[in-house]
Amino acid sequence: MEKPKVTRDFDDKEFAGCAIFGMMNLEGKRFPSRDPVRAIANMHERGNGLGGGFAVYGIYPDFKDYYALHVMFLDRDAKEKTDRLLASGFEIIYDEEIQTKPALVYNPPLVWRYFISPNVKRLGIQSEDDYVREYVMRINTETGRAFVFSSGKNMGVFKGVGYPEDIAEYFCLEDYEGYIWTCHGRFPTNTPGWWGGAHPFSILDWTVVHNGELSSYGTNKRYLEMYGYKCTMQTDTEVLAYAFDLLMRRQRLPIEVVAEILAPPFWNEIDRAEPKKASMLRTLRQTYGSLLMNGPFSVIVAHEGEMIGLTDRIKLRPLVAGTNGEYLYISSEESAIRLVSPQLEGCWNPRGGEPVIGRVGEHIVPEKFLTMEATA
């Protein structure tokens, strides 16, 4: 499988027309792939079989202290270069090819998994996370034909070119259990054969699945490049992953604030708000205007212990949330949730720009969102 011959410039990006689904156990209990795969398969119509993927959290309990790298190689040379690069900066605890079995996927590349730990001597004053991030960017740019699918602890991304249910089959996802599963079915147009273009996109343990198109991609990309992120995946979703990493991990802003940065209210709404709030919102928007995500989007972002759903501020993409006991569901279409959980305690459409947040240990109070349910 070739990376596309003509490297088109940033404007020639993918369309993320698609389906997204997220399922989380709020007690942190791990569950198998059956429900998430059934749900994303139900939204088959929204994709065109040329992209599917999953992010799963809690899959490597025995290796949970190590960074789990999932890397895709387009040729042996790239693997050798990657192995050398990793060896120079990390202790490689264990590595192997990710198990696969025959399935309806197109031209699969080699996908490898490494459990690594940063070499303490080389660490210096950098945090471990930043250290890993730098190496990930290096693998993506220096080896030329190796790309990192995921680089977090006790989690992993499985993705490629095929319907999501076929990707799940290919990577034997029935063998894994996790407490958060996010899924994506894609409708790519630009580079249909490119495994790196499938969702989820991730950096460290941040993963993003995205439905929509960011018309602000050019601006977002150039802002993030100032902070050491390199956009190599030719897909606008990449900037969302990096934006979350920058704002939530490095700058330690809480999700409620991050939502106001990525999907801020209109100026006339800010002017109408109560003075203290207005001042905060104004400052956020003045500082982070280049991270405003313009264009339709609904995303599900996950990292250790949290799953977040968000849409753009004028809600141009669908998003539905549902809860039942310990489970939180976020989906592009309600029918997918109902398929795996016909009964729901709470079911609602989040407002544009307002995040749905699932955190381990916090149950979501259905009353807060309950609206008129079926009376019949």
The residues of the shown chain that bind other proteins, judged by CB under 8 A, are 11-12, 15-19, 42-43, 45-48, 50, 187, 189-190, 192, 211-213, 269, 296, 314-318, 320, 333-336, 338-339, 347, 349, 351-352, 371-376
Instruction: Using the minimum distance from each CB to other proteins, give the nearer residue, 9 or 62.
Output: 9
What CA–CA distance (Å, rounded) separates 222 from 103?
A: 38
What CA–CA distance (Å, rounded) separates 145 from 199?
A: 18
Whether the Cβ atoms of residue 13 and residue 323 lie closer than 8 Å to each other = no
Cis amide linkage into residue 200, ω under 30° from 0: yes
What CA–CA distance (Å, rounded) separates 45 from 329?
A: 20
- The full length of the chain comes to 376
Whether the Cβ atoms of residue 33 and residue 176 lie closer than 8 Å to each other = yes
Cα Rg, the chain, nearest whole Å: 20
Min dist CB 50 to other proteins, Å, is 8
Q: In the chain, where does DSSP find H-type helix? A: 34-42, 76-89, 120-123, 128-142, 164-170, 217-225, 237-244, 255-262, 267-272, 275-288, 334-340, 366-369
Instruction: Using the minimum distance from each CB to other proteins, give the nearer residue, 50 or 246.
Output: 50
Instruction: Using the minimum distance from each CB to other proteins, give the nearer residue, 111 or 270.
Output: 270
| Token pair in block for residue 252 | 């330690």
Min dist CB 374 to other proteins, Å, is 4
Instruction: Using the minimum distance from each CB to other proteins, give the nearer residue, 187 or 195.
Output: 187
18, 183, 231, 347: the active-site residue: 18
Instruction: Using the minimum distance from each CB to other proteins, give the nearer residue, 62 or 367.
Output: 367
Min dist CB 266 to other proteins, Å, is 9
Min dist CB 97 to other proteins, Å, is 30
Instruction: Using the minimum distance from each CB to other proteins, give the nearer residue, 192 or 366.
Output: 192
| Neighbouring residues of 214: CB distance < 8 A, sequence distance ≥ 6 | 220, 236, 237, 239, 240, 293, 294, 295, 297
Min dist CB 184 to other proteins, Å, is 12
Instruction: Using the minimum distance from each CB to other proteins, give the nearer residue, 30 or 38.
Output: 38
Min dist CB 91 to other proteins, Å, is 43
Find, among 41, 309, 88, 52, the residue nearest to 198 by Cα: 52
For residue 70, how many other CB atoms are within 10 A of its CB?
A: 22
Whether the Cβ atoms of residue 52 and residue 173 lie closer than 8 Å to each other = no
18 assigned to active site: yes
Min dist CB 318 to other proteins, Å, is 6
DSSP labels for 300-335?
Answer: EEEETTEEEEEE-TT--S--EEEEETTEEEEESSHH
Residue positions annotated with a catalytic role: 18
